[in-house]
Amino acid sequence: MDKTHWFNRIGMAGIVLILVLSLLAIALPQSAQAASDDKLPNNATYTVYIRNGRVFITTAGFPEKTKFKVRVKDASKSQPKFFNLGWVVTPKKNSLLTAFTLPKAIKSALWLDICLKSQQNDKLFCRKVFNPGT
């Protein structure tokens, strides 16, 4: 097994491609990142990012005590399995930062779909997120 570091194997062009894709994912407006047709409630926003094998979700503008199931799947597979990460319940202050650990089965996936599934109306809100830990 070749023990060369991953960036030595993909070369400079691969590293530049990964950086460009990461910047595009950050720069896209939220509507372009959404992987579902469901629209967020007025003034509601959420952001998702991954760092060191952990998923960080920030919510704002949702009604108080809105409950979401947090789900994740490998975005590169046509029929991927969803993994449940946990629950998010929006607080009184209306802003929340929550962190979850990625399941080992998809920790190495380059792109992930991170979804919030509303437990009030079954709407699904998704973001395609680059996983820099791959």
User: Could you state, in order of their start, the residue ranges of all structural domains in the chain?
Assistant: 6-130
Fold of 6-130: Immunoglobulin-like (2.60.40)
Tokens of 22: 């990461």
Measured between alpha carbons, how far is 37 from 42 in angstroms, rounded to an integer?
A: 15
- Closest by Cα among 13, 60, 50 to 128: 50
pLDDT at 31: 35
Identify which of 75, 81, 79 has the alpha carbon closest to the alpha carbon of residue 114: 75
Backbone angles phi, psi at 67, to 5 degrees: -105, 130
Q: Which residues of the chain have pLDDT under 70?
A: 1-38, 94, 134
Q: What per-residue confidence (pLDDT) applies to 66?
A: 86
Classify 7 in phi/psi space as left (phi over 0), alpha (psi -120 to 50) or beta: alpha
**pLDDT on residue 91:** 83
- Give me the pLDDT at residue 28, please: 42
> Which candidate, 113, 47, 33, 21, places its Cα nearest to that of 74?
113
Element (H, E) at 115: strand 111-118
**Structure-derived torsion over alpha carbons of residues 32, 128, 26, 116, reported in degrees to the nearest 10:** 90
- At 70, the amino acid letter reads V
